[in-house]
Structure 1
Amino acid sequence: MLTITTTEALAEFCEEAKKHAYVTVDTEFLRERTYYSKLCLVQLAMPGTDDSNGCLVDPLVEGISLEPLYDLFRDTSVVKVFHAARQDIEIFQVDAGVIPTPLFDTQVASMVCGFGEQVGYETLVRKIAKQEIDKSSRFTDWSRRPLSDAQAKYALADVTHLRQVYEFLAKKLKDQGRSHWVDEEMKILNNPDTYITLPENAWKRVKIRNNGARFLAIVRELARFREDYAQTKNVPRSRVYKDDALVELASTKPKDHGDLGRSRLLLREARRGDIAEGILKAVKTGLACPESDLPKANRKNERLQVNPALADLLRVLLKAKTSSAGVASKLVAPTSELDAIAAGERDVTALTGWRFEIFGEDALKLCNGEIALAAKGNDVILVPV
């Protein structure tokens, strides 16, 4: 098993990889105690049938540079194959501003090919490669050295079996004429904004029920401070304070350390020092926010007058169409989009691109009374009106 510990060896492997149509990639990392993922291992494999075309890259070795790997990622003649790529790509984007291109995500492809909702890698390996993966090393500390033989074997299997999975899915997509469907989905993963959380926008991720403008202003400032602090100190945002504590603080509006001490949900470490000062400043800033700068809640969904009967019919249509096409329903249209369509909204993802081909067009016809649904045996069929 090849373990790469020098920049020169990595460059040699990556130059060889550039001669092939694709390379499979995976990472092992830690994130439990940091905001940004700590990269602990990179696994690579070129096309082949055994482990000889794969390697483990140790990024923790002093003096090694991953620039040869990033150069490979920039080479558009080689497809970079991942499974559930988002967290892996975030590491490379944050570390070097590099997104592997072109990109192929086997989890997305498997959903397009009818393997179900967000199918796991082990399931695909079992169904496609007819192999079993030893999961005993799945939850281990990948930052510890030396790696055990079991860890190394498990890590390499994440990219060697992936070759067969990729080749199977890529062929099936081509045979079905669906390769462009996956290409459309990759646009999200190829967008650098996917991996960036700006502190000023962090409040939009907090689930709240109170949509009062002043309350939202305090939420915005508390979330802004938390995100900025977490990024600067490289600690998980939950270690600063959790969402429920943030919402409590926005409601109680603490003015001093005594008020903070009466919080039910605030961590003890957050009631003093820099975090406590940041909280008090954020609350003060939110309370003093000018009327013209107060945030506005997204009331789009509140305004929707959903026709529940039509929404139910759309669910039946979606199930029928995706079952027939062999595509995961949630990939085509989540429940929120079905409700939006039933309420008259047309600016939804389900009505664009390849989704329009297999569902959106008939969904609009159903809404316009141009077709009806009927049962025929165990099937749901579309009937022109």
Structure 2
Amino acid sequence: MITITTTEGLAAFCDRARAHPYVTVDTEFLRERSYYSKLCLVQLAVPGEAEEDAVLLDPLAKGLSLEPLYDLMRDTSVVKVFHAARQDLEIFYIDGGVIPQPLFDTQVAAMVCGYGEQVGYETLVRKIARASLDKTSRFTDWSRRPLTDAQKVYALADVTHLRVIYEYLSDELDKTGRKGWVEEELSTLTDPETYIIRPEDAWERIKTRTNSGRFLAVVRELARFRETYAQERNIPRARVFKDDALLEIASTKPQSEEDLSRSRLLLREARRGEIADGILAAVKAGLAAPQKDWPVVDQSRDKLQVNPALADLLRVLLKAKSDASAVAQKLIATSAELDEIAAGEFDGPAFKGWRREVFGEDALRLCRGEVALAADGGRVKIIEL
């Protein structure tokens, strides 16, 4: 097993990789103790059976620059193949400012090829590569050195079997003419906005039971402070204070450190010093926000007039279309999207791109009363009215 620990060695592998149509990629990282993921290992493989065709890259090696890898990620002549790529791509974008292009995600491709919802890598290894994985090293500490032989074997398997899976799924997509469907789905993964977390928007992830504008203004400022503090110091946001403490503070609106000392949920170290100062300033800013600047919760979904009978029919239609096309149901339309359609909303994802062809057009006809559904043995068929 080859482990690359020098910039020169990395550059040499990347130069070799450019002679191939694709390279498979995976990463191992830690995030329990930091805001941003700490990249601990990169696995790379190109087509072939030689030892040098599948390598480990140690980003923690002293003096190593990842720039040759980032140059390879930018090279549009080589397809970059991942499985469930989102976290890997976030690391590359945050650390190197690069999003691999062109991209192929075998999890997305498998959903289009009939392997179910968010199919795991182990399942594809078993069903397509006809192999098995030893997962005992999955949750080990990848930042510790030296890596054990078991860790190395586990890590390499994540890119060697991926070659077989990629070639098989790519051929299937060519046969069915669905490669464009996968590319359409990957647009979110290749959009830098997917990986940018703005402190001013952090409040939207906080689950609250009230829509009070003034309360939400305080929640927004507390979430903004916490996100900024965590980003600047690269620590988990929960280490600053947790969501339940944030909501408690937004309710009690402390004005002093003495007030903070009465909190039931706030960590002891957050009741004084920089965090305490930040909390008190955030509460003050939230209370001072003018009404026109108060956050507003999107309640449009709560106001939907969903026709429950039609929603049930749409679910039957979706199941039938999913079975007929061998595409995962949730990839075609979510339960929430079906409710929106049943409420008369016809501008959602189901009516765009390949989804309209597979499901949206018939869903629209069903809503208009132009077709009906009937049982035909073990399947559902559409009847023209």
Letter in 1 for 2:326: G
Distance change >3 Å, CA 242–CA 100, structure 1 → 2: same
Look up the match of 2:195: 195
Letter in 1 for 2:345: E
Work out the CA distance in 2 between the residues paired with 1:202 and 1:74: 30
Look up the match of 1:69: 69
Q: How does 1:50-199 map to 2 (within 5 A)?
A: 51-199=51-199
SS at match of 1:300: coil
**Structure 1 unpaired stretches of 5+:** none
Letter in 1 for 2:85: A
Distance change >3 Å, CA 51–CA 209, structure 1 → 2: farther
C-alpha distance after superposition, 1:153-188 (max 9, x if no partner): 110110000000000111111111110000001110
Shift of 1:237: 1.0
Work out the CA distance in 1 between the residues paired with 2:8 and 2:343: 59
Work out the CA distance in 2 between the residues paired with 1:109 and 1:24: 15
Work out the CA distance in 1 between the residues paired with 2:281 and 2:317: 52
Shift of 1:52: 3.7
SS at match of 2:232: helix
Work out the CA distance in 1 between the residues paired with 2:238 and 2:152: 31
Look up the match of 2:40: 40
Q: TM-score with structure 2 length normalisation?
A: 0.98
Shift of 1:302: 1.8
Letter in 2 for 1:314: L
Letter in 2 for 1:169: L
Work out the CA distance in 1 between the residues paired with 2:273 and 2:346: 49
Work out the CA distance in 1 between the residues paired with 2:321 and 2:345: 20
Letter in 2 for 1:73: M
Aligned Cα root-mean-square deviation (Å): 1.1
Residue 335 (str. 1) matches residue 330 (str. 2): no
Look up the match of 1:302: 302
- Equivalent pairs counted in the alignment come to 385
Deviates further, 235-244 or 4-13:
235-244
Q: Is contact 1:34-1:236 (8 Å) kept? A: yes
Letter in 2 for 1:12: A
Shift of 1:80: 0.1
Shift of 1:51: 4.4
Residue 236 (str. 1) matches residue 230 (str. 2): no
Letter in 1 for 2:279: I
What is the percentage of aligned positions where both structures have the same residue?
A: 68
Shift of 1:346: 2.2
Look up the match of 1:287: 287
Q: TM-score with structure 1 length normalisation?
A: 0.98
Look up the match of 2:7: 7
SS at match of 1:84: coil
Work out the CA distance in 2 between the residues paired with 1:367 and 1:254: 52
C-alpha distance after superposition, 1:132-165 (max 9, x if no partner): 1111111100001111100011101100000000
**Structure 2 unpaired stretches of 5+:** none
Work out the CA distance in 1 between the residues paired with 2:241 and 2:319: 41
Work out the CA distance in 1 between the residues paired with 2:211 and 2:85: 35
Letter in 1 for 2:122: E
C-alpha distance after superposition, 1:17-67 (max 9, x if no partner): 011110000000000000000000000000124544100000101111011
Distance change >3 Å, CA 329–CA 51, structure 1 → 2: farther
